[in-house]
Structure 1
Amino acid sequence: MQTPYERQMVNLFKNLVINDEFSIGYNFQINSLKFVQHLNLKKLKLVHSQYVIPDLISDSLTELHLEYCQIQTICDLSAQQLKVLRLPKNMLKNINNIGRFKHLQELDLSENIKVNITPIKELEWLTSLKLTQVTLKNTKAMRNLTNLEELDISNNYGVSTKTIQYLTKLTKLNLAQTNVRKINNLKNLTSLIELDISYNNIGNICVLQHLNKLRKLNISGNSNLLNIYELRYLTDLQDLSFHSGNYIDLTPLKYLTKLTHLSLTTLNPNISVLRHLIGLSVLYLIGYQKIGITPLQYLTNLKTLVLQNSQIYEIYPLRRLTNLQRLDLRQTNITDISPLTNLQLKYLNLEANKITCFDPISKHHKTVNTTLMENIYSHPNIIGYRTVFQFQPTVEDLILSKLMKQIDNSNEILRKLWGKRKIILNYPKMLQFKTQKILDKMINKNRNVSKQLIVLFERLNENQNQ
């Protein structure tokens, strides 16, 4: 027998025709999904709905996403045609009946810290599995999952790679922050295209020479790693992230001529090897001390360059990077930006430098799309051109400063509320309702401030054109 609430929801949706996808978010009052039973859905997404019981869902459903719904078991789930099941950030413990989903291909149980994953051994047809932060004590249950192509078990302390060696169809593997020390067991995973072994205790990467199909690799944060010689064999690599607190010989990088994305930090200030990587379109060099950037002048295909917190002092070599669109020079100790005169940038960040003259930028309309605030502040969420004031602030400057403070204050409140979201879920329903009202009010306030900013930028541009 239906409750008054269920009858109300059924009446509300009975005339609604949805044949494909339905998404409901942040509805704290929903406690049953019976009202969508008659909908011929293929995809259903439900986020932040308290104590959801996923019962009587349409048999036509092939994709189900239930996040922050405090689900503890999936034994009542009736949809037998599911191909994609995502249940992150719930309170799952029991998944004993998961083997009933004979068509399941993708499964996400991330951030269910008490879930027992043993029953997944029945899902031999799975192609994608995500188990981030689930207190994974052993991986034996995965040995039968020989059809897996994507596996993410990051943020699980003490994971063993012994079982993973049998998953030879893997193309994507994420072992970040698992306290892994050795990766020799990955030798047989020759189909790997993407591999993340960042922030572990790995000291030897010899096994990588056997994984020559790799296109994306992250080996950052392995303090025991003292050389990267084996990278020279990864000639198809397109994306590399390597951040280390050690002095590393970067010579092997010159063989990676197909690289388009590189994020690099080491104690070695000699980056001359980068001149060979002419295919780079995105480059991050963060946290270097007294680094010379002359080799960068040869990277004429660069579109994004981030030199944040690197002591470079001068940027003369950048004048040749005419394809550059995004440039981040925060905390780089630069004083002269004249080399940027002819660059057609869409984004520029000059925060925390000692620049005294902005004429090279403010007098050239080629940089009209540049997002630029004061020399000590750059706000990436505002689109528009800002001529930086050097001495006395104008009326527009004062208005802009006030509006930016309003946005920052609103965002700070939103961040605090989001950080307490799990506590809020346990509030009485009336208090939840009031909290939701506060959120809505803050969001609307930000919208109004954004409208005022747009008007202000129009005035600034008009003044500049005059």
Structure 2
Amino acid sequence: LGPVEQWSGLFCKLNMFFLLMFMIYFPVPVSGFSLQSCTVSINTAVCVKKRLTAIPKDVPPTVTGFDLSVNRLTRIQQSDFPPLPLLLFMDLNRNKISEIDPGAFRTLTSLRRLNLNNNKVIKLGERVFDGLNNLTVLRINYNQIKVLSSTSFQSLTKLEVLDISHNKLQKSADLELILHHMPQLQELVLRGNSLKAFNSWEITNRSLALHILDLTLNPLKDFKVTSDIFQNLTRLKLGNPKGNEQTIWDVKNHTFLSRVSNLDISGLIMTLDDMKSLLEAVTSSLTSLRMNSMKLNHSQLINMSCSLPTMFILQFQFNKLKNKIDSYFFKSCVHLTELDLANNYIEHIPENAFMTLKDLKVLILSNNKLSSVPNATRTLQNLIELDLSSNNIGSVTCMDFSNNVKLKELALKNNSIQTLSDCVFKNLLQLQVLRLQSNQLIQLNKAFEKNLPNLKRLYLNGNKLKKISAKEFAGLRSLQNLTLHQNQIKDLVEDSFVGLTNLTDINLQTNCLTMKALKTGAFNALINLRSLDLTSNHIKFEPLSHPPFSNLSRLERLFFMGQHLNGNQHLSINSLQGLNNLLYFNARKNHLTNLDNDTFTYTPKLEYLDIGSNDLKTLSSQLFAPIKNLKNLYIHRTALHSLDFFIEANLTKLEFLEGRHNQYSVITEKVIKSLPSLLFVDFTYISFSCDCDNVWFINWTRANKQTQVNDAYNYSCNYPDNFKGKKLLDFDITSCLPDKGFIHFASTTGVILFFLVISFTYHFMRSHLYYAYHLIWAWLFDSRYKNKQASHRYDAFISYNSNDEPWVIEQLLPRLEGEQGWRLCLHHRDFEPGRSIIDNITDAIYSSRKTICVISQRYLRSEWCSREVQTASFRLFDEQEDVLILIFLEDIPTYMLSPYHRMRKLLKKQTYLNWSRAADQPDVFWENLRKALQTGNKPDGEKLLLTVIETQ
């Protein structure tokens, strides 16, 4: 490249520099991870209860779920949804949507489930679901849909579940518009519409893939099937408990419903003959039958249904049986394994009412008026599950369950039982679940001291227990879950939980426990405990010689919120001693004013910590030193004035930070950068200072792609006074930048001066610059060969311009090679093909004893010739070797030599010959050239000096 090209490259670099400067001072807006109206949780955009009237546009394109329920959306338009290529689920439940434009969901091509329940849609227009080719579940119940268009469901070819219940569809012909485009539909729910007839010929003549059809709560007058369209139907729901219309049953062939195994005819009104026909249609396949709120004779219905040989499960709720059950009521139900008689106002059941139910395994008698456990249940020796919840049972006796030896689940919750006896459960050796919550129990009376060896879950919450006596649960060696919350327990003793070596979860919240109860060492027996809830008690921690949890080495979750204490509290240093595997600790709302730096020394695996709603005011970074695995931290309402403790806390794994309702007003860069794994942060209700101290936080909130800043667009300013009530993200950060006017003036002035200097320098000194350019080039290449001792392959390298080539070939070459026998190096003859010109020139000069420069005016104007002479001159001046011979083919004016200072130095102290003056004595010229070639390379050798002609 020549000088002009070099300067051109420099100008390109300068242009790039100023472009970068422009980008720094005028940054391009970047979409951040703080959403205006939503949060992202488990890859789902949650925008619930935000009073939205338009669909947010700033939802990340990577979300798989989008929850817009409970808002004020009224219309869905084509442009509403941004491209969300990974979205699988969308919830638009409980809005006010009355209109959906064609193709409104077209950008949601991956959507699998869509919920449009509880809106105000009246009509599903043409192509309303276009683009939803992958949708499998559509729920659009509780709208006002009256009209369906022929292409409404055209794109839903993969739909498997459609729930369009509680609308205003009136004609069975509407179903044809639904089913025509849905070859894979398996579940169709049409309950609560206005369908008066179901005529199969109006729907389709082909076999459907339907497995479930729900037509309940429709005023059906006719149910007519004329062809075998339900070959895959297994569950059919008919009937209208709230209606008075009689339904005509007309199924032409009993085999049309021969695969239905689950039938619900609750509230269905029809003649007894039609009822028989209905049951005959499913006689070979029916296994489960629901007949709730029936208006026909109950005994006849039971006899007809129980005569079906394959029917094992019967639900007979809301039939107001009260005292209608007699000894013969279930005499035909010999095959039943499950019987549900809940919600029937039953007050009494005869002792032999269930005598024929030898195979019964599940009996549900909840929500009735029973005052005691019916003696009839004692005959059910194969019973596995018995539910007597929500009755008026005041006590249980030792005989009530004595024969139910196979019982695995017993529910007595929500009764009025006050006491238990030690024999009441003695024969229930296989019982695994016992529900006694919400009774009036005052004491347990050793009911669990020796019995129930296989019980795994025991629910005693919501009673009036005041004390857990010694060995109260000693017989429950298999128990895993024990709920004792919402009692009045105040006292524990050392052996209260002896025997519960397999217990993993115990709930003791909302009792009256104090530190005195914990001092007893009652928890020491719970060696396998994983979760302990002591919320809402009266426990005041104080230094103890024997910490209450020292034996709970496997505990993972400890809930200690909301102790009902007055005044400031302090969590003692050894409160958590022994909890080496604790992962979760919640100490919210305890009036704590201080946490010792060694508080968490004993919990090195802690991942979740909630110390919110306390009066801490300050936290030390050393507090978090032992819990480097912390992932979730709640410090809301702690009156903190600063978050600087994070800087040295080394919480590199923290992902979730909830710091709302505090006193700090500035979030610094150091704080945020000390939490490199942070994914979610909540600073809601912080009184932010809207000044330059928060500029970094504002920029970070807008631009970061990793951490979601919850509800950041609603963060408000509290300082200074003129910004009060304004939004933090509306603060003009440009006011905090240096004075742009001065910067622009200074930079512009500097650029102008820079270009002026360059222009003047180039104008007045371009020749010197040109020379300096070649000088530098020669020095660079000379340095590569300076220390090499390569052997000389040539006597001389001939440097000449191509225009002088005839003189070299016709005069120089014959004399020096032909007559005198010198070996010369020539461009066209000896340069190595394929190698760069620069490398060839350099190698040629350093491989030759001498360099002969054939100088003419054209030679001095040649870039390559200039490089050759400069490289050779470096060997002369820098290596102190006499290697250069100059031959002038013509007289050279001084002004052409002036830019080449080394050239002038060469003429003053180096051998040179003038061909233009040798016309009279050419032999002398060639002899002098021979002598110059014969001389050595030492600088003090013989010189042949001539005078340069000074011409202008």
Cα-Cα RMSD: 4.5
Conservation of the 8 A alpha-carbon contact between 1:102 and 1:123: no
Q: Is 1:272 aligned to 2:494, yes or no?
A: yes
Q: Secondary structure at the match of 2:175?
A: helix
1:216-261 deviation line (CA, Å, top 9, x unaligned): 2233455466443242132222222234425564424123222111
- Residue in 2 aligned with 1:29? 193
**Given the alignment, which residue of 391, 405, 410 partners 2:639?**
391
Structure 1 residues without counterparts, runs of 5 or longer: 377-383, 404-453, 460-466
**Given the alignment, which residue of 562, 574, 599 partners 1:331?**
562
What TM-score does the superposition give when structure 2 sets the normalisation length?
0.36
1:253-303 deviation line (CA, Å, top 9, x unaligned): 123222111123564612422143221111112313325233324423222
Structure 2 residues without counterparts, runs of 5 or longer: 1-168, 243-265, 615-630, 643-657, 662-680, 686-706, 713-952
- Residue in 1 aligned with 2:286? 82
Distance 2:269 2:340 in 1: 17
Distance 2:214 2:539 in 1: 48
Q: What is the CA-CA distance between 1:115 and the residue it aligns to?
A: 6.2
Distance 1:457 1:346 in 2: 25
Distance 1:225 1:93 in 2: 43
- Residues 60 and 204 of structure 1, relative CA distance in 2, 3 Å threshold: same
Query: Which residue identity is paired with 2:522?
Result: P
- Residue in 2 aligned with 1:305? 532
- Residues 226 and 72 of structure 1, relative CA distance in 2, 3 Å threshold: same
Q: Is 1:162 aligned to 2:372, yes or no?
A: no
Conservation of the 8 A alpha-carbon contact between 1:297 and 1:321: yes
Query: Which residue identity is paired with 2:531?
Result: T
Conservation of the 8 A alpha-carbon contact between 1:236 and 1:258: yes
Conservation of the 8 A alpha-carbon contact between 1:371 and 1:385: yes
Q: Which is higher, the Rg of structure 1 or of structure 2?
A: 2
Q: Is 1:258 aligned to 2:478, yes or no?
A: yes
- Residues 202 and 176 of structure 1, relative CA distance in 2, 3 Å threshold: farther
Query: Which residue identity is paired with 1:241?
Result: Y
1:295-332 deviation line (CA, Å, top 9, x unaligned): 32442322222223222323943365343333322333
Conservation of the 8 A alpha-carbon contact between 1:191 and 1:213: yes
Query: Which residue identity is paired with 1:289?
Result: L
Matches within 5 A, 1:202-351: 203-205=419-421, 206-223=423-440, 226-231=443-448, 232-243=450-461, 244-247=463-466, 249-264=469-484, 265=487, 267=489, 269-273=491-495, 274-286=497-509, 287-290=511-514, 292-293=517-518, 294-314=521-541, 316-318=547-549, 320-332=551-563, 333=565, 335-336=570-571, 339-340=575-576, 347-351=584-588
Q: Which moved more, 1:66-75 or 1:117-126?
A: 66-75
Query: Which residue identity is paired with 2:176?
Result: V
Q: Secondary structure at the match of 1:292?
A: helix
- Point out the structure with the larger helix share: 1
- The answer to which structure, 1 or 2, has the higher relative contact order (CA under 8 A, 6+ apart) is 1
- Residues 30 and 168 of structure 1, relative CA distance in 2, 3 Å threshold: farther
Q: Which moved more, 1:270-279 or 1:73-82?
A: 73-82
Distance 1:5 1:328 in 2: 57
1:127-175 deviation line (CA, Å, top 9, x unaligned): 1223333322333454432211111212212255121111111011121
Query: Which residue identity is paired with 1:353?
Result: N
Distance 1:68 1:228 in 2: 49
- Residues 63 and 50 of structure 1, relative CA distance in 2, 3 Å threshold: closer
- Residues 85 and 388 of structure 1, relative CA distance in 2, 3 Å threshold: farther
What TM-score does the superposition give when structure 1 sets the normalisation length?
0.68
Distance 2:589 2:430 in 1: 41
- Residues 51 and 365 of structure 1, relative CA distance in 2, 3 Å threshold: farther
Distance 2:513 2:184 in 1: 58
Query: Which residue identity is paired with 1:196?
Result: A
Q: What is the CA-CA distance between 1:52 and the residue it aligns to?
A: 6.7
- Residues 209 and 266 of structure 1, relative CA distance in 2, 3 Å threshold: farther
Q: Secondary structure at the match of 1:151?
A: strand
Q: Is 1:107 aligned to 2:314, yes or no?
A: yes
Distance 2:419 2:367 in 1: 19
Conservation of the 8 A alpha-carbon contact between 2:239 and 2:268: no
Q: What is the CA-CA distance between 1:44 and the residue it aligns to?
A: 5.3
Distance 2:512 2:316 in 1: 39
Conservation of the 8 A alpha-carbon contact between 1:93 and 1:115: no
Distance 1:343 1:44 in 2: 55
Matches within 5 A, 1:412-431: none
**Given the alignment, which residue of 599, 612, 637 partners 1:374?**
612
Q: Which moved more, 1:33-42 or 1:223-232?
A: 33-42
Q: Is 1:172 aligned to 2:396, yes or no?
A: no
Distance 2:230 2:391 in 1: 38
1:428-454 deviation line (CA, Å, top 9, x unaligned): xxxxxxxxxxxxxxxxxxxxxxxxxx8
Q: Secondary structure at the match of 2:458?
A: strand
- Residues 226 and 153 of structure 1, relative CA distance in 2, 3 Å threshold: same
Distance 1:82 1:401 in 2: 58
Q: Secondary structure at the match of 1:317?
A: coil
Conservation of the 8 A alpha-carbon contact between 1:74 and 1:97: no
Conservation of the 8 A alpha-carbon contact between 1:63 and 1:83: no
Q: Is 1:191 aligned to 2:412, yes or no?
A: no
Distance 2:683 2:217 in 1: 40
Q: What is the CA-CA distance between 1:346 and the residue it aligns to?
A: 5.6
Q: Which moved more, 1:160-169 or 1:250-259?
A: 250-259
**Given the alignment, which residue of 115, 132, 139 partners 2:342?**
132
State the number of aligned residues. Answer: 395
